[in-house]
Amino acid sequence: MNTLNKLGWSHFFESSLSFEEKQNMTIGRVSTVNKSNCIVIHENGSKTCELAGNLMFGLDENEKPKTGDWVLFLDYGDLGIISKVLPRYNCLSRQKSGKEIVEQIIAINIDYAVIVQCLEIGLNLRRLERTLVQLQNCNIEPIVLINKTDLPIDDEQQEIMNFMIDTYQAIPISASHGSNLNLLKDKIITGKSYVFIGASGVGKSSIINSLQEGNDLKTGTISQSTMKGAHTTTSRELYILQNGGVVIDTPGTREFGLTAPNSESGLSGFHGIDELAKGCKFHNCTHTNEKGCKVLKAVKTGDISEDEYENFMRLNREMEHYESSLQDRKQKGKKLSKIIKNMKKSGYKS
């Protein structure tokens, strides 16, 4: 398998290229985004690349290259100039905390998100559900890990852990003792991309390091570029594992603010509730007071806990809020451009 395929290159990206682009440009995948340049991995190693002027000034912040993006660049030896960001297969993003609607991109072109929680910080079911919902919004498959299982556990945490294992196929591991790491390795497929997410200190980097079988990540292809001195402290970084798979390490993210869903398929972070909701009498049931609501019925009979129901409703409200704020902004934008058009028509010179 060639390097590009190992990096996750596929027909989806290939088909977006013109003949001229294939002839003249070098294809690469963005590993790290720095203030003034990017580190791009390509067929023959990695390269520090800058953005061409039209990209630098002509694109919205979120359209500029992000970790995981495929780009085309012109190779000038020591430096590459990125001239195009290829279409994105998908995008892991979150609503930034705070009142304003700001979508923050975490990584691009992702097959699996490895959600890490750990016993030391404490398992948190609500946070897991929230993350699962956002992954579904972004069309990304989850893998759930419970790390630091070498540490003592109390009854309550044990119960949550069992629930996570039963319901979300969570894998209990210990990065430092190496236990169950083979179960995770079994899930890593050559050419697929895995982004590691979870709060600071849960052990994301340690797990990724132990996947490399004793080889420190920082000694990989990436560090050749860091020698050039243009590399500041990184936030997100993409690596190719020796035994296959592309991993992206991210700095700790506690909460996943939800963005608008990609699909109509409901909140799949909630085992059971989705399925139940399909059986509601009204297809647009809000599960608050409708007759024939299967969700409310299940809460009544105790099949769903009050807690889970509350969280389900809270996340639904949050997505609605995001969507309506977005609509609001679009409306305002439209109004403004209409006003400007009219002003121009009536002879106003800006």
- Rounded to a whole number of angstroms, the minimum distance from the CB of residue 217 to ligand GTP is 11
> Which residue, 8 or 198, has its beta carbon nearer to ligand GTP?
198
285 binds, among Zn ion, ligand GTP, none (CB under 5 to 8 A by kind): Zn ion
> Which residue, 151 or 343, has its beta carbon nearer to ligand GTP?
151
User: In the range 247-266, which residues lie near ligand GTP by CB under 6 A?
Assistant: 251-252
Kindly tell me which residue out of 90, 167, 206, 221 binds ligand GTP, with binding defined by CB under 6 A.
206
- State yes or no: residue 287 binds Zn ion (CB under 5 A): yes
Burial class (CB in 10 A: 0-12, 13-18, 19+), 199: middle
Question: Known binding site for Zn(2+): residues?
Answer: 280, 285, 287, 293
H/E run at residue 66: none
Phi-psi category of residue 53: left, alpha or beta, with phi > 0 → left and psi -120 to 50 → alpha: alpha
Question: Known binding site: residues?
Answer: 147-150, 198-206, 280, 285, 287, 293
φ, ψ for residue 196 (rounded to 5)? -95, 125
Nearest-10 Cα torsion for 317, 322, 323, 327: 130
φ, ψ for residue 304 (rounded to 5)? -120, 140
- Rounded to a whole number of angstroms, the minimum distance from the CB of residue 231 to ligand GTP is 17
Phi-psi category of residue 180: left, alpha or beta, with phi > 0 → left and psi -120 to 50 → alpha: left
Using the contact rule CB under 5 A, the part of the chain among 25-33, 107-115, 252-260, 286-294 near Zn ion is 286-294
- State yes or no: residue 144 binds ligand GTP (CB under 6 A): no
> Which residue, 123 or 273, has its beta carbon nearer to Zn ion?
273
Q: Return d(Cα 118, Cα 146) in angstroms, integer.
A: 5
> Which residue, 254 or 317, has its beta carbon nearer to Zn ion?
317
- State yes or no: residue 293 binds Zn ion (CB under 5 A): yes
Kindly tell me which residue out of 55, 184, 240, 280 binds Zn ion, with binding defined by CB under 5 A.
280
Q: Helices marked H in the chain — which ranges?
A: 3-6, 11-14, 19-24, 53-58, 125-137, 155-168, 181-185, 204-211, 222-226, 273-278, 294-301, 306-345
- List the one residue out of 182, 116, 177 whose CA is nearest residue 151: 177
Kindly tell me which residue out of 176, 234, 316, 325 binds ligand GTP, with binding defined by CB under 6 A.
176
174 DSSP assignment: B
Using the contact rule CB under 6 A, the part of the chain among 32-40, 80-88, 201-209, 315-323 near ligand GTP is 201-209
> Which residue, 222 or 293, has its beta carbon nearer to ligand GTP?
222
Total residues contacting ligand GTP by CB under 6 A comes to 17
What token pair was written down for 260?
A: 């608008």
Footprint of ligand GTP (CB under 6 A) = 147-148, 150-151, 174-176, 198, 200-206, 251-252
Binding site for Zn ion (CB under 5 A): 280, 285, 287, 293, 295
